[in-house]
Chain A
Amino acid sequence: MTDNVKYLSQQWRDEAERRLKAELPPERMNFVTSSMSNIYQNCPDGKDRYLYFKFVDGKFEEMRIGEGESPKPEFAVSGDYETFAKITRGELGAQKALMTMKLKLKGNMVKALRLASLADRLNKVLATIPTEY
């Protein structure tokens, strides 16, 4: 696939799922069971969206994109659409975004710290998708 897909579109979701399943087998995900949502506020069309992931024993089990309220995740990261876009484009580090309050994390941070490297792996895979923001 070489054509750019629109960020957070159904096509982008499908491509994300394909790449995550291919590149992050359970052992790369440390056989973790968890769920997280990215909450995108102020999307270009003015709406809020979410991207929900669920892993069971490291297996990528569910990925949903939707409008409005996300399914309840173990961790939720919320921020402006543009902030997430900058992170995905590699223009802003996720940690810096958290430390400057551009992103907010909800959930048990002690557990989140243990999963930080996994989230990083996941974001790196998503960043490889040719995307139009």
Chain B
Amino acid sequence: MTNPSNDPYFIDFPKRIKNIQARMAKDNIDVYLGSRLRTLSWTTDAFFPWRSFIVIPPEGLPTAFTFVIDAARAADDSWLDEDHVFGFAPMGGQDQIEQIADFIKEILPAGKGRVGIESGMSNYLPEGWLTHYEYEQYAAALSGCELVNAHTIIDRLALIKDQGTINRFKEASRIVDVGHQAVLDAIKNGGWKGMTETEIAGIAALAMRRAGSEWEWSFTGGNEIASGYRTGYAGGACTPASRREIQAGEPLMVDIHATFKLGLGDHSHNYLIGPATDRQRWHADNFVSIVKKTLETYRAGITPSLLAEQMMDFSEAGGFADYMVPGYEHGIGMLGDEWRIGLNDGPFPFWTNPDHVYQENEVLICAMQYACPDENIGFRYENPIQLFKDHCEEMSKFPLAIEEIR
């Protein structure tokens, strides 16, 4: 597959499939049965909101399976044609177990072979690992087959981002910046008075949708808006917008999300609703300083633990270590890939390996949270960053600051 139109968002999906198949051959996997949302996104270029699967044969095109009510739409969005996106439903021969098992058996000589599956655990609810029930059912329906865990094939190939993926993330981030500007325009000059967190979430959503975003993709409630004490939950970094009204003299955290062709924008910006106290300003300055320091530090070759140590030393020296939540990243990839950094090779299974060595063209969310529950104040920073040999580039360009809004 070439890119004749020089589309900046072009991704060579057939090449991705061939790379998977090459790895399957090395690992002696005859058929790959993917079930994770991230796997569906990465292989099909379509959003699969319902329980879905993809079957990748040893050679040739893969076939996706989803709930029949959405299969035609998914096929229309995907690079795969309608002969490679099937719908399943509770009808004889058409339920997801029998339909997919029969499909796999037709691929395998004499219906026997090694079937790669995706088994594991995640903090991210929509991950889509094969459930215990599904495993048992497929094992019974594919009685001549050995089911082996093979998710690392996808995880390894998806780690380093290609240019089309990076450009999609950049466009999603540009759209997020449009959302932030709309929020700033709406709240400044007293516009915030009488507004609720949900309203601010909606203002951002409308602006981003107008700019082309498909979805405020985060499962944490879409756009996360927090005000007052809700910005400073101890150890917290998750705030679905509430009906709380914005108040004078309080912090406001605006963490918004946009989607562009399965590329994800995720940027958090913070405000102080005036009048701000000197103490609030001190907290805000602390946070801006550590965000700057973190962005200066991120580069290929560093590890999450090394970066955390350096940032905790920085915050200790600044006298605000008590308020830093000790984490500075979360993983990101095409829609559905939003948790662990790197591979599942750390001391705690399926959590980020603290000794993961970042490589060039990894994309992650630079994420940090400042929380002072005793003073009802906190701040959050999130921004997709692309790693280079000696620096990182933040994708959202909304200026880093904590402005006092009157």
A108's partner among B82, B92, B102 (CB-CB below 8 A) is B82
Let me know if A22 is at the binding interface, CB within 8 A: no
Contact A106 B72 (CB under 8 A): no
Point out the residues of chain B lying under 8 angstroms from A79, CB to CB.
92
Q: A105-B92, A110-B68, A113-B68 are in contact. List 7 more A-B contacts (CB 8 A).
A: A78-B93, A99-B91, A101-B91, A101-B92, A105-B91, A108-B83, A109-B94
Point out the residues of chain A lying under 8 angstroms from B93, CB to CB.
78, 103-106
Which residue of the partner chain A has the closest CB to B88?
A109
Let me know if B208 is at the binding interface, CB within 8 A: no
**Chain B: residues with CB nearer than 8 A to chain A?**
68, 71-72, 75, 82-83, 85-94, 98, 102
- Would you list the 5 A-B pairs with minimal beta carbon distance, nearest first? A104-B93, A104-B92, A98-B91, A101-B92, A110-B71
Point out the residues of chain A lying under 8 angstroms from B88, CB to CB.
109
Contact A99 B72 (CB under 8 A): no
Contact A105 B87 (CB under 8 A): no
The CA-CA distance from A100 to B98 in the complex, in Å, is 15
Q: List 6 A-B contacts (CB under 8 A).
A: A79-B92, A99-B92, A104-B92, A108-B83, A110-B71, A110-B87
Which residue of the partner chain A has the closest CB to B68?
A109
The CA-CA distance from A81 to B115 in the complex, in Å, is 35
Contact A110 B82 (CB under 8 A): yes
Q: Which of A79, A100, A109 has the most CB of B within 10 A?
A: A109
Known contacts A110-B82, A110-B87; A105/B94 CB under 8 A: yes
Interface string of A92-133 (1 = CB under 8 A from B): 000001111111111011110100000000000000000000
The CA-CA distance from A50 to B90 in the complex, in Å, is 24
Point out the residues of chain A lying under 8 angstroms from B90, CB to CB.
99
Contact B92 A103 (CB under 8 A): yes
Point out the residues of chain B lying under 8 angstroms from A99, CB to CB.
90-92
Q: What is the number of residues of chain A that contact chain B, defined by CB distance less than 8 Å?
A: 17
Which residue of the partner chain A has the closest CB to B103?
A106
Contact B91 A108 (CB under 8 A): no
The CA-CA distance from A105 to B75 in the complex, in Å, is 20
The CA-CA distance from A104 to B75 in the complex, in Å, is 24
Known contacts A98-B92, A99-B91; A110/B102 CB under 8 A: no
Point out the residues of chain B lying under 8 angstroms from A97, CB to CB.
92
Point out the residues of chain B lying under 8 angstroms from A98, CB to CB.
91-92, 94
The CA-CA distance from A37 to B88 in the complex, in Å, is 20
Contact B91 A109 (CB under 8 A): yes
Chain A min CB distance to B96 (Å): 11
Point out the residues of chain B lying under 8 angstroms from A106, CB to CB.
93, 102
Point out the residues of chain A lying under 8 angstroms from B82, CB to CB.
108, 110-111
Contact A110 B92 (CB under 8 A): no
Which residue of the partner chain B has the closest CB to A101?
B92
Chain B min CB distance to A34 (Å): 13
Contact B91 A110 (CB under 8 A): no
Which residue of the partner chain A has the closest CB to B86?
A108
Known contacts A110-B71, A110-B72, A113-B68; A102/B86 CB under 8 A: no
Contact B89 A109 (CB under 8 A): yes
Which residue of the partner chain A has the closest CB to B90?
A99
Contact B92 A102 (CB under 8 A): yes
The CA-CA distance from A100 to B89 in the complex, in Å, is 12
Chain B min CB distance to A96 (Å): 10
Chain B min CB distance to A33 (Å): 14
Which residue of the partner chain A has the closest CB to B83?
A108
Contact B86 A110 (CB under 8 A): yes
Contact A110 B94 (CB under 8 A): no
Point out the residues of chain A lying under 8 angstroms from B89, CB to CB.
109
Q: Which of A101, A102, A103 has the most CB of B within 10 A?
A: A101
Point out the residues of chain A lying under 8 angstroms from B98, CB to CB.
104
Q: CB within 8 Å of B: which of A44-98? A: 78-79, 97-98
Which residue of the partner chain B has the closest CB to A111?
B82
The CA-CA distance from A29 to B178 in the complex, in Å, is 51
Which residue of the partner chain B has the closest CB to A95?
B91
Point out the residues of chain B lying under 8 angstroms from A101, CB to CB.
91-92
Point out the residues of chain A lying under 8 angstroms from B68, CB to CB.
109-110, 113
